[in-house]
Amino acid sequence: MSRQTADSAVVIGLEVHLQLNTATKIFCGCPTRFGAPPNSQVCPVCLGFPGVLPVLNRQVLRYGIRVALGLNCSIQPKIVFHRKNYFYPDLPKAFQISQYDLPLGSSGFVDLENKKVRINRVHMEEDAGKLIHKEGEPASLVDYNRCGIPLLEIVSEPDLCSPEEAYAYLKTLKGILQYLEVSDCDMEKGSLRCDANVSLRPQPDVLGAKVEIKNLNSFKAVARSLSYEIRRQGEILEEGGRVVQETRLWDDVKGVTQGMRSKEFAHDYRYFPEPDLVPFSVSTEEVEAVRAALPELPAQRARRFMAAYGLPPADARQLTAEKATADYFEQCVKALPAPVENKRGKVFANWIVSDISREINERGLENIQALGFPPSSLIELIGLVESGAISGKMAKEVFIESLASKKSPAAVVAAKGMSQVTDRQAIREAALAVIQEQPKAAEDFRNGKAQALMFMVGQLMKKTKGAASPAISQEILKELLGGENS
Ligand SMILES: [Zn+2]
């Protein structure tokens, strides 16, 4: 099988676990502070003592509805919890309270640039504790603080066809979740976790065996592990073998997946309705109240940016994908004197989607805030260009220097003695030299070829190493040539 055929038969679905940022746990009043000393945020309910009764945290339900609506799901009005039975040392009750056949939300979707990815379900559940294995210790330790932390599980349909699409889906999903402000969405803290399911169709109408990949600690790890797994499964099929349905762990250092245990089937968990939490209904009014309070989401915000600031769709999409970036952009344009001209929005957008985004990516930063270049600095930098103090080319240098020195753009310009040549005499001398060196262009311009002027402005910029003001250069060249176009 060639790589091409393997790629076209790839089927990927993702399961995301989102930790909600409620003040207390899902079924008890224990606090949820991250990084608290081990076993300091526990009580008889989350430790599963006999005779205790769980009570659903109302905020978890509201956040669950908010996320389900944000992902375009329909809400299941009858709330039913199930017990998912399994034994593991980090699970003192030997079951997890989750949702089974009646998830809170279902049949939603997320729009990617070129694709609609369907959301199968969004359901509420509790987290388990954490085992701590210390090198050289004969035993493992367990921290139950995480037991009962509220989670939402968001399951996509297997609509994704490549690691790149899986990555784009996760980025888009995280963007939406950040706008909804229900979680810090921090993968390093484990607030956002992802498991990937991937299979290859051996023939177009035959489903392949599904492999689940766990232990994915970053979006990059998701994409890398999928690439590895697609190659591995492709090679097995190519040799006429059969892919085994199993769970595999991703080793980020070695860059490989390793078999863990054969995939449990749902009935292994012996799901049954949680007897301690009676089913109840959510009223239409309650759902509609949550819907009415939904914030503007990335897709809506992108449409507004296009209409209000005349931005092209690609820029609007890039600016709004992350809430922090969109907020940054709006802080910039709102600081401008009203009415905001479309053109000014575009100037800020250009800087953010190009130079600023490039630095964020190259430095591997979490978001625009981490760059240390506040909106006030960008406003100052663009102001320096627009007032003619520095050229656009110089502005790029000032930007980099400002990041390195942590000085404001104006301070960088002052310290380095940078300034655009606006001295008309100096530009006139350079212009005269250009006319002398480029007689053909000068004649073309005199004969009515407007483009020849731009060529000469370019030559003049080169001569002055980008320091001459383009506007003044153009004006002086026209004056000196005195052609039909002047
Ligand atoms: Zn508790």
Residue 156's contacts (CB-CB under 8 Å, 6 or more residues apart) are 13, 14, 15, 16, 110, 117, 118, 119, 120, 169
CA of 47 to the centre of ligand 1 (A): 7
CA of 146 to the centre of ligand 1 (A): 10
Whole-angstrom distance, CA of residue 421 vs CA of residue 390: 8
Q: What is the pLDDT of residue 342?
A: 62
Q: What is the pLDDT of residue 73?
A: 98
CA of 22 to the centre of ligand 1 (A): 13
Phi, psi of 143 (to 5 degrees): -115, 120
Q: What is the pLDDT of residue 413?
A: 87
Region 117-124: what's the mean pLDDT? 98
220-268 pLDDT tens trace: 999 999 999 999 999 999 998 899 988 999 999 999 999 876 544 445 8
Dihedral-angle region of residue 29 (phi above 0 means left; psi in -120 to 50 means alpha; beta otherwise): alpha
Region 280-285: what's the mean pLDDT? 96
Tell me: pLDDT of 5 over 50: no
CA of 130 to the centre of ligand 1 (A): 15
CA of 190 to the centre of ligand 1 (A): 20
Q: Coil, helix or strand for 151?
A: strand
The mean pLDDT of the chain is 90
CATH 1.10.10.410 intervals, the chain: 424-481
CA of 125 to the centre of ligand 1 (A): 15
DSSP state of 423: -
- List of E strands, 3-89: 10-19, 74-75, 78-79, 82-85
Q: What is the pLDDT of residue 200?
A: 94
Place of tokens 């300091």: 40
CA of 423 to the centre of ligand 1 (A): 73
How many CB atoms are closer than 10 A to CB 337? 7
Region 270-289: what's the mean pLDDT? 95
CA nearest to 18, candidates 127, 96, 166: 127
Predicted TM-score (pTM) of this structure:
0.81
CA of 44 to the centre of ligand 1 (A): 6
CA of 128 to the centre of ligand 1 (A): 12
To the nearest whole percent, how much of the chain has pLDDT over 70?
Answer: 94
354-405 pLDDT tens trace: 999 999 999 988 889 999 999 999 999 998 888 778 888 889 999 999 999 9
Tell me: pLDDT of 107 over 50: yes
Tell me: pLDDT of 140 over 60: yes
Determine contact, residues 165/115, Cβ cutoff 8 Å. yes
415-470 pLDDT tens trace: 877 766 667 778 888 899 999 999 999 999 888 888 888 899 888 888 887 777 78
Region 476-485: what's the mean pLDDT? 76
424-481: what fold?
A: Arc Repressor Mutant, subunit A (1.10.10)
Q: What is the pLDDT of residue 7?
A: 44
